[in-house]
Each structure stands twice: as C-alpha cells, then as structure tokens.
Structure 1
Amino acid sequence: MPADCLSYKETNYYSRLITDYLEQKDDIKEFYHRFPTIENFGEQMKEKGASFSAEKRKLLEEVLQEQYKGLEVSPAVLGNIKAFKEENTFSITTGHQLNLFTGPLYFLYKIVSAINLASALKKEYPRHHFVPVYWMATEDHDFEEINFFNLNGKKFKWNSSHAGAGKDAVGNLGTTGLEEVYELFSAEIGGGKTAQKLKELFSKAYLQHSNLTEATRYLANELFGEYGLVIIDGDHKKLKTQFIPYLEQELFEQVSHKATEPVAKKLSELGYGVQVNPREINLFYLHAGLRERIIQQEGRYFVNETQISWSKEELREHVQEHPERFSPNVMTRPLYEEVILPNLCYIGGGGELAYWFELKEYFERVKVPFPILLLRNSALIETAKQNEKRRKLDISQAELFLKQHELINRKVRKISNIDVDFSPQKEHLVQQFRGMYELAEKTDKSFLNAVKAQEVKQLKGLENLEKRLLKAQKRKLSDEVTRITLLQNELFPNKGLQERQTNFSEVYLQYGEDLIPQLIEHLNPLDFQFKILTLGEK
C-alpha cells in the first residue's frame, strides 16, 4: 500500500481553526495546554500521574473486567486492562458514536491513531505503559445519526421499532430489526471468503447481542482486539460515583457555562466560529428509557418535558444515591472522561477538537489536567487502477481535492488545443481603460462613471465569451470530462471526503484482512498530514 500525503490546508476540507492549530499559530495557543509532540508527553505524564489515584486505577480495572465478561479477550487486551492498576500506565483515548457497523471509515482511523500513538510512546518511554482506549458514546440519543451506513453508493438503514429510539440513550437500544439490514447487506456483498467474513462479523455483532452497546463492543473488539484496544462504556454507576463532585458543581454552580461562555465568545471574535454553545446546565437526566435536559427555574430543578423536579436539597441527595442517572452532554463528557481515565491525549476529528478548544478554562477551574489534543489521522484510499487512471488523466493528488467544476475547468484548459484563458485580453482591456480614466480626470470628472460602466460591461462580455468557449470545449472533450468526473465521484462519494461517507466494508471487500494491518503501518498520528493510500488487488 504505497502512501503519499498532502497538508491538511491543501485539501481545503479543514477549518482555519484546525490548520492554525497544526501550524501552532499564536492566536490559538491559549486554547490548548500542550501540543502533541513526543517530548511534551513526558510533562503530561508527570501532571496526570500526580492527580490520578491508586483507588481510581483499581476501580477502573474492576469495571473493565466486569464490562468484558463473556467476551473473548486477547492477551493484549487483558494485559492492558490489568495494567491500569499500575501507576506508570496511561491511556490514549478516542471516542465515537455507536454507528451501525462502525459508520464511516474514519471510525477505523480514530482507533488506528490511538493504537499507533500508544506504540510510539512506548518506544520513547519504555518504562511506562500506554493503553489505546475507545470510549463508546453509549449515552448519546441521536439515533438518526447512527442508524445507517453507506456501501457502494447505497444507504443501509436500521428502521428500529424500539419505542425509545431517538429519546433513550442509544446504548440501551435493542437490536430488533437488524435482521432486515443483515439480509440486504448480505445480498449486496455477494459471496466469497472476504464477504463471508463480513457477514459473520455483522451477524455475530448485531444478531447475537441484545443491545447496541454489547454489539459495538463485540465489533470493535473483533477488529482491534489483537492490538490491545480497550473499550469502555462510561454508563456505569461505579464510574459515575467518582464524578459526583463535578456533577454537583455543574448543577449548583453552572461552572462549565461560566467558564466556557467567555472562551466561546473569544473564539468567535478571532473568526474561528463556535462549535458548541454551552447551556446553563450541561447534563441530561438518564432513566427508564429517558434522556432529557436538566433545567433550573425559580429555585427548582426540572427534567425538561417531564413532571420530574427537585428542590436543591432533594437533587443533591438524588445525585449521591443515583449518580448513574446523570449523563454528561458534549461540554461535560470530556471532563468525565478525564476524571475516570489516566488519560494523556484525546484523539478526535476537526469538529471534536473545535469544542475541546472551548474547555481548557473549565478544566482549570475544576482542577483536572487538560489532555493533549491530537487530530486523528485522515486518509483517502484509492485502488491501483484508480491511481493509474489519475496519472493518465494527468491529475495531481492535490487537484483531486478541488471542487468538481474547478477540476474540470482546469483540466479542460490544460488539454485544449486552443487557449481558453482570456486573462491576457482582460488585462489588455484594463490597460486601455486606464488611459481613458486619465483623460477623464483631465477633462470632465463626471465622465468617470460612464468610463467605469463601459469597462465593467466589456469585461463582463469577455467573461461570458470565455465561459461559452469553455463550455464548447467541454462538449468537444466530453470523453475526458466524463472520465475525470467518474474518477472523482468514485473517490469522493456524494462530493465529500471518502472517510466521512464510505463504510469500511466497501474497502474491506477489496483488501480483506490486510486492511487494518496496512492502516496500522501507514498512518502516523504525529505526522499531521492527510494520507493518500494506494491499495493493490487482493
């Protein structure tokens, strides 16, 4: 699998916030703690190690042992779980929703980034142990975001009849209705050894497990267990018990809102935009098929759109008795992760890092070390045949990322036997009018507007002629235009990044069990480059 790369800025798919972060621009430095370099992890370990107790380590190991019961566990995973009890063990964490059959390809890239960073740190700090962790977002309730995957340009959607779909935490959802998805998926991928492997993976994950949490844990473990990936579900009473002091701060002091609102405003003023606007209370109430916002009104606390309410004293008592019923939202979940894990680094996509940049002040107020933030690996996977087509069409890798009309216009201009670029004529016209402006200045200044109007009219006329000529050339070169269009559509489904659209099974069918090992080999999380990976035939 030969690999090449582009800068993230060259792809034109990443925000200025992210590209400025990768370039360590001064404007962004106040919004993060340490930049992800091998050297900076040494200081991060000292800080995190001093704040993470032996009791927390013991509890984490116990909960993980419980969550892995009944699952076939590799020696690497078992060793990593047990290692959490040791004071020299730290986690490298990424998180993701419970998307059906992993959802888009970048699910794999996130976890590969965590695995490879843990491996790189082990080489640099051999006396320490580093565990890649996948945090399952079991408490989310955005069912419509996770109930489908895309394969061969088709959408495979789970139409759950579960009464709580869209309201309950998705991890609690039963897997009823996925038999139909399995049948459609099986018909789509056909026969053969690789297809059979994928069918078994889907069947065992979703048809032999009772809820989405268990199904996703099984699937991720099957894909990455040999690399020691530890999968954690934060929806657990023992883990939430450790979070009680922070739950109380959030409910009674609204600390996250007070800390992040000014930061969000500053990010906006710097032109970065705001990923998430904090609420006054950034917690949900999670119980009996319900996950709803907690709001405060006139001295009482309410669960939105229900009859559930408490006084301050009643709520404090309820938190102590049932911490598992309080679910962090996007603003408080990062803190929860860092409270219960000996974590050094969070790995996420551009949108995730954007809301983490709002949180540093919040972490400082509650005295929890802020982790190193790392942009996950990104990649475009092309087959050897697609790479050959690209070369024959004389399209550079950077040009592949252009908007389709820009790419076609550029290539038509390049391969035309006539000049479709009227820039010289436009410049000549501008020079001619410059003399007319000087003449108008010396005679009658009221004439300037008439000269300007005529210049605009004639330039517009040249632009229209250029467009018509380009259109005519596109018709004449329709074969090349068609081949360019087909190639880009294959690599950028729905005119978006492949990793955000295509399910891993589509690539797995082409490359088989070598896919993940090849990703492990070629994706370097500290490289900060967008990878283009060329796959050969199986």
Structure 2
Amino acid sequence: MNIQRYALPHASPLTAAYVERSDARVARLYGGHPEEPEDWRRRAAALECGEAPRIAPGELAPVLERYNVRLGASAATRQSIAALGEGAQVVVGGQQAGLWSGPMMTLHKAVSVIAAARHASELLGRTVVPVFWIAGEDHDWEEAAHTYVVDSKPSLTKLHLDRPRGARTSVSRTLIDEGAWRRALRELAEALPDTEHKPTLLAQMETAAASGETLSEVFGALLLQLFAEDGLVVLDADDPELRRLEAPMFARLIARNAELRQAYADAARRLRELGYAPQVETEENCAHLFVYADGPGRGAGERLLLYREADGYADRKGQLRFEERQLAKLAETEPQRFSNNVLTRPLMQDYALPVLATVLGPAEIAYWAMVGDAFGLLGMRMPLVVPRASFTLIDEQERKLLARYGLTYEDVAQRMDEIKAQWLAQAEGELPEEAFARARGRMLDAYEPLLAELTARWPGLSPIAETNRAKLLEQVAYMEQAVGKERERRQETALRQLELLRLTLHPAAGPQERVLSAVYYWNRVGVDWLRQLAAQPFRPRGGHSIVYI
C-alpha cells in the first residue's frame, strides 16, 4: 500500500479554522486539540474525576455485551466491552446505518476511531476502547438504504433496500422482512462483476443480513466483521436497553430545556459575530428532542420533533401535545419514546460513554462549535474533537489506466470531459465539430442569397424557405451526430476506460468516499487494504490521502 497526502479544501471556514488552528477565537469553542498531548491528558484526568453525570460502566457494559454478541462480536470486541465495564475510556465516532456498509467515508470514520484510540492508549499508557455510534434514531430512510457500485459496463449502479410500508420512523425501528433482504442481495450479486473475492463477499453479506431484523443491526454486524481484530464496539443510539439507562439525561434535557435553547441561540449568534456561519440554524422554541408518536418498541410510529409552547410541548403537526410535567414523567417511564437531534446528541453521547475524544466529519466539527455552553450548563465538558481522515482508493487497474493516459487524480476530478474530447481529437485528427461548422457556414453563404432573392420576388414563399433552411441544417446535424457516434464506437475502449476512471475516482461529480460503497473495492481486491488503513499512524488533523491498493 502506497499512501500519498493530497490537500483538499475544508468544507467550511469554521472547520478549517479549528483543524488548522488558524483562529484562537474558534479554538476556545472546543475542548482542546488532538495535536496537543496535554489536552489528551487533561481530558483523561477530567473523566477520572467522575464529576460529570454519566451512566455507570457496570450498567452500560452488559447492554453493549448483549447487543454486540447478538451481532457476532469477536473476542477482541468482547475484551473491549469488558475493559469499558471496568472503567476504560473511549474514542467514539458515529454515522447513520448504511446499506452494505454505506458510502466509503463510513468505514474511513471507523478507521479514524481505531487509530485515535490506539494513539490515546499509547500516549496515556492505558486501555482506550474504539466505539462506533450507530445513529439508528435517524429517520431518513432514503439516505440510509441505498448505496452505489460501478458495474461492468461501466456505469454507476444504485443499490437499494425496500422500505416496508408504515410510519416514517427511525431506521432502527424499521423492520425488514426476509424477502427484502433476498432482493437486495440478488441486486448486489447482479451488479458486481465476477471476481475471485465475490463469493466470500456475498457470503459475508448473507451472514450479516441474517444477523438482524433492521438495517442498523445488519450494518453493525458488518462493522463487527470488518474490524473484528481491532476490538471495535458498536452501539445503536436507539437500542431500547440503552434508552432505559438514558432516562435521567432525557429528564435533564427537559428540565433545562429553556436554558439549552438559549445556549444554542447564543452560540449561533456568537459565531456570526466572529464572522462564521452556524452549521445548524436554531429554530425558535425548538426543544431539540424527538418523541415517537405511538410508544416504545420496534415498528413504532412517526418520529416527531417537539417545540415549546406556552402551556407545554407539541409537534408541528399537532399529533402530540404534553404539559411539561407529563413530558418529564414520560421520560422517566418510557425513555424509549425519546430521541435526540444533532445538538443534543453530543450531550447524550457523553452521558452514555466516558468519551475521551470524538471523531467527526467536516460538517460535524462545524456544528459542535455550538454545543460548548450546553455541555457546561449540564455540568459536563466537551471531549476532544478529532477530524476524520479521508481517502481516495486507486487500485492496480486504475493506476495503470492513469499512467496509460498520462492523467492524475486532479485531472479526473476536474476536467474529464475536456480530456475525453482531447483524446478523440488526438486519435482521429480534426474534431468533426469544426469541419461541420465550416460546412454549415459555406452552405449558408451560398444558399441564403438565393432564398433572399426568391422570397423578395414571391413573399408567399417565406415560410417554405425558412422550413427548407431548417431542414437542410437538420440534415447536416444528423450527419454530424452519425459521424460522432462512429468515432466514439471506434474509440469505445478508450472512452470506456476513461469513464471507468471518472466513475471510480470522482463518481457523480463528487468525492469517491461520499458516493461509492466499499464493496466495490472489496469485490475487486478483497479487504486487506482496510486492515492496512486501520493500522496507519494517527493523524491529528485528519486530512485527505490518495491510497494505492
């Protein structure tokens, strides 16, 4: 494996200011920086003090043990859970569940979590556990239940998992029947070209699909398979057993809701004063909590965001309405009916786990700038924020194609249409567009004076003359298209290879890691590259790399 750093612009000025440490005012909005060993030690010491409210490790570990074992946990994962039960601190990163492991950036986040936990363990001389937080409470099914691979044509193929009928509820509460998984597995098998790795890949996918009833569970099972040797622990934010342990925190989020709303609004205002746009716009009276319409359990009703009203809380659709004491009682008796939004999720994560550091993507880093005061309000401190590393994979076939056509990754990402046109021109001589443009000009130069003379003598011929002129140009255009298709046919191999580079390195005009599923490369070359990425040294500023596998 050959890894080359490749600088990409940051997603937002706020994220850039934090990662690159270019604005001391922004640095004060976070809990330190992962480049500073002393910041790691300070956070570890704060967790040791045990001042902040948190679920007791002895209560949390059995919940994680049951969930992970049910999904096929390795011995290393079970050892991690045992260490957590004895008070080990964690590095955590999260993402919503994704079909067949989702876009590649999801695995890149897991790799970053593992690397950061290993770094912290070596720095502090203690066990630090890597945890992947599955945001199973999210209800955007369309985003979670599809992914993309490149087929043998080549073309970008969308894979999807059918959603059962019912309420728009969380991914972790959406039950998937066997038939839907069989259809999804068949679609995957048909889309992937035949390779030596395909049978093993499909067998592992079938094992994962048999491990759970929801997309979140199948996703978690895949993560446990892929990172079995690294001791990665998976946690579903919408696990009903975990929700029961979180009841006291939901009660606090309700009791201090007015202050929390003000803290988020003040944070947004402060960012604007510093010259940065808030990543999240806070809605007036938004409680930053969701409640399920029908009650606890799988197959629950719609997930509805609550807003503060004069006499309590209600959702915008008017399906739910609570007095404050009723909502507080519900949090005590049925915490499974609650879930968090992006601004309360960091607080709940820190309540559930002894978080030494959290691995975040670019947008997440930006919105975490708004939660510092909320942590303080609840007697908590923000953990260290670690930028996720990102990668673009290039396999041996793609490397050879880049060399054959004299291209770089930047060429593919920024000017592929121009490169295709240049290739055709070099291969076939003058571009036909230029020759046909000259022919059209000469034809009109000769024909339009005649049309003008005829319509001057017989004005009634004007409509016929215009139609005749248009048809002549139409016939020239038809011939031009025919020539273009013939040229493309003759250069089909080259164009197909150039298109393959576009689809794999910069699919859908976006970064590879945000579009393609890792199963594309898994099918081509296996998964050793993932193990090697997980073993790479920790990078405290994250950053992007080109990885030749």
**TM-score range relative to shorter protein:** 0.7 to 0.9
Alignment partner for residue 509 of structure 1, among 508, 523, 527? 523
Mind listing any 5+ residue stretches in structure 2 that lack a counterpart?
A: 151-155, 425-486
User: For the Cα contact (< 8 Å) 2:507–2:516, is it kept in 1?
Assistant: yes
Q: Compared with structure 1, are the counterparts of its residues 393 and 307 closer, same or farther at alpha carbon in structure 2 (3 Å cutoff)?
A: closer
Alignment partner for residue 272 of structure 1, among 276, 282, 287? 276
Give the corresponding residue for 2:44.
Answer: 45
Q: Compared with structure 1, are the counterparts of its residues 266 and 392 closer, same or farther at alpha carbon in structure 2 (3 Å cutoff)?
A: farther
Give the corresponding residue for 1:118.
Answer: 117
Post-superposition CA distance 1:118-177 (Å, at most 9, x none): 112222222x1110001111111111111111011100122322313xx11110111222
Does residue 204 in structure 1 map to residue 207 in structure 2? yes
User: For the Cα contact (< 8 Å) 2:288–2:344, is it kept in 1?
Assistant: yes
Does residue 227 in structure 1 map to residue 230 in structure 2? yes
Give the corresponding residue for 2:391.
Answer: 379
Q: Compared with structure 1, are the counterparts of its residues 114 and 271 closer, same or farther at alpha carbon in structure 2 (3 Å cutoff)?
A: same
Q: Secondary structure at the match of 2:342?
A: coil
Alignment of 1:60-99 (within 5 A): 60-87=60-87, 89-99=88-98
Q: Compared with structure 1, are the counterparts of its residues 489 and 156 closer, same or farther at alpha carbon in structure 2 (3 Å cutoff)?
A: closer
Mind listing any 5+ residue stretches in structure 1 that lack a counterpart?
A: 413-474
CA distance in 1, matches of 2:55, 2:136: 25
Q: Secondary structure at the match of 2:527?
A: helix
What amino acid is aligned across from residue 132 of structure 1 in structure 2?
Answer: P
Give the corresponding residue for 2:58.
Answer: 58
Shift of 1:104: 0.5
CA distance in 1, matches of 2:422, 2:18: 31
User: For the Cα contact (< 8 Å) 2:73–2:228, is it kept in 1?
Assistant: yes
Alignment partner for residue 309 of structure 1, among 318, 321, 326? 321
Shift of 1:402: 3.5
Q: Secondary structure at the match of 2:165?
A: coil
Alignment of 1:255-294 (within 5 A): 255-279=259-283, 280-286=286-292, 287=295, 288-294=300-306
Does residue 28 in structure 1 map to residue 26 in structure 2? yes
CA distance in 1, matches of 2:58, 2:327: 29
What amino acid is aligned across from residue 4 of structure 1 in structure 2?
Answer: Q
Post-superposition CA distance 1:411-465 (Å, at most 9, x none): 99xxxxxxxxxxxxxxxxxxxxxxxxxxxxxxxxxxxxxxxxxxxxxxxxxxxxx
Alignment of 1:45-194 (within 5 A): 45-51=44-50, 56-87=56-87, 89-126=88-125, 128-152=126-150, 153-164=156-167, 167-176=168-177, 177-194=180-197
CA distance in 2, matches of 1:350, 1:496: 15
User: For the Cα contact (< 8 Å) 1:172–1:212, is it kept in 2?
Assistant: no
Moved more, 200-209 or 102-111: 200-209
Give the corresponding residue for 1:357.
Answer: 369
Post-superposition CA distance 1:293-346 (Å, at most 9, x none): 122323132244354322222222222212221111111111100111011111
Moved more, 337-346 or 171-180: 171-180
Does residue 491 in structure 1 map to residue 505 in structure 2? yes
Q: Compared with structure 1, are the counterparts of its residues 339 and 24 closer, same or farther at alpha carbon in structure 2 (3 Å cutoff)?
A: same
Post-superposition CA distance 1:457-483 (Å, at most 9, x none): xxxxxxxxxxxxxxxxxx9xx98x967
Shift of 1:54: 9.0
Shift of 1:409: 11
Q: Secondary structure at the match of 2:182?
A: helix
Alignment of 1:426-441 (within 5 A): none
What amino acid is aligned across from residue 281 of structure 2 in structure 1?
Answer: N
CA distance in 1, matches of 2:319, 2:399: 60
Shift of 1:274: 2.2
User: For the Cα contact (< 8 Å) 2:313–2:323, is it kept in 1?
Assistant: yes
User: For the Cα contact (< 8 Å) 1:105–1:498, is it kept in 2?
Assistant: yes
Q: Compared with structure 1, are the counterparts of its residues 409 and 259 closer, same or farther at alpha carbon in structure 2 (3 Å cutoff)?
A: farther
Q: Compared with structure 1, are the counterparts of its residues 100 and 523 closer, same or farther at alpha carbon in structure 2 (3 Å cutoff)?
A: farther
Give the corresponding residue for 1:16.
Answer: 13
CA distance in 1, matches of 2:521, 2:537: 16
CA distance in 2, matches of 1:407, 1:271: 40
Alignment of 1:315-354 (within 5 A): 315-354=327-366
TM-score of the pair, normalised by structure 1: 0.79
Moved more, 295-304 or 351-360: 295-304
Q: Compared with structure 1, are the counterparts of its residues 307 and 188 closer, same or farther at alpha carbon in structure 2 (3 Å cutoff)?
A: closer
Post-superposition CA distance 1:345-403 (Å, at most 9, x none): 11121111111111112111212110111111101111234334434544455555546
Q: Compared with structure 1, are the counterparts of its residues 408 and 190 closer, same or farther at alpha carbon in structure 2 (3 Å cutoff)?
A: closer
Alignment partner for residue 217 of structure 1, among 220, 224, 246? 220
Q: Secondary structure at the match of 1:313?
A: helix
Shift of 1:43: 1.0
CA distance in 1, matches of 2:516, 2:227: 19
CA distance in 2, matches of 1:317, 1:217: 32
Alignment of 1:353-502 (within 5 A): 353-391=365-403, 393-398=405-410, 400-402=412-414, 404=416, 487-502=501-516
CA distance in 2, matches of 1:54, 1:142: 29
Shift of 1:183: 0.9
Q: Compared with structure 1, are the counterparts of its residues 400 and 50 closer, same or farther at alpha carbon in structure 2 (3 Å cutoff)?
A: farther
Shift of 1:14: 2.9
CA distance in 1, matches of 2:214, 2:275: 43
CA distance in 2, matches of 1:409, 1:48: 59
User: For the Cα contact (< 8 Å) 1:8–1:19, is it kept in 2?
Assistant: no
Q: Compared with structure 1, are the counterparts of its residues 55 and 160 closer, same or farther at alpha carbon in structure 2 (3 Å cutoff)?
A: closer
TM-score of the pair, normalised by structure 2: 0.78
